Structures are given as C-alpha cells and as structure tokens.
Structure 1
C-alpha cells in the first residue's frame, strides 16, 4: 500500500473544491462534531476520522493553501 492508495473503501466519496474544509457527518443531530480537514498534496484525498467519508480534491480546484 502506498501513500496514494487508500487503506480501505470509504462508505461515501465527495469531491471538494478547496483543500481545507469541514465535515460534520451531514446527518444533523445524528452526525458528528464538526472537524476541519485538509487534503494533503501527496495523496489528493483525506478520510474523515469520525464517519470515514472520503474527500477528494477536485483536479480543477485552485490551491489556496
């Protein structure tokens, strides 16, 4: 397994337009605490530590960080 290969399949995958964003589980009161995540330059994706949703940076996104 390399840094660019996910360790597991994600329950949901989302494409984000910014490298830094927040995740709250998207379930309202049934979600999880809001966490701020940053998509690493070397992988192009990050998994939420609470809900395991995978966020991939849109290739057309501008890198403001």
Structure 2
C-alpha cells in the first residue's frame, strides 16, 4: 500500500480557500493567508500546499 503525496497548487493570490476539492468527499472550506515572506501555506485538513506564483521554484 502506498501513501498519496499531498497536492501542490500554484496560486496568484495571497488569500486562498481550500475545500478538499472532492465535492462531498472534501472537507469544510477554510481560508488561509499566505505569508508574504514565506510564500506558501499548507491546508490543515488535506495537507495541500499552496505556493504563491512569486515563490514558484524557490520553495
């Protein structure tokens, strides 16, 4: 049995929402603020990593 690696998404906004993206199988919608100095944030539910476009390839 293999574990799935968390998804990584490149985004254009520093304020993002995550709902798991799987309809009824997802999770409650939560909002995150990507820190301008860090450039990324991870969802506390599904571990999806959101990277701001300005930090793509640097994280």
TM-score relative to the length of structure 2: 0.80
Instruction: Tell me whether 1:38 sits opposite 2:18 in the alignment.
Output: no
Q: How many residues align?
A: 51
Give the corresponding residue for 2:51.
Answer: 56
TM-score relative to the length of structure 1: 0.73
**Cα separation, 1, equivalents of 2:7 and 2:40:** 13
Q: Greater helix share, 1 or 2?
A: 2
Q: CA deviation at 1:44?
A: 0.3
Structure 2 gaps, min length 5: none
Q: CA deviation at 1:41?
A: 1.4
**Cα separation, 1, equivalents of 2:34 and 2:22:** 22
Structure 1 residue ranges, 4+ long, deviating more than 4 angstroms after superposition: none
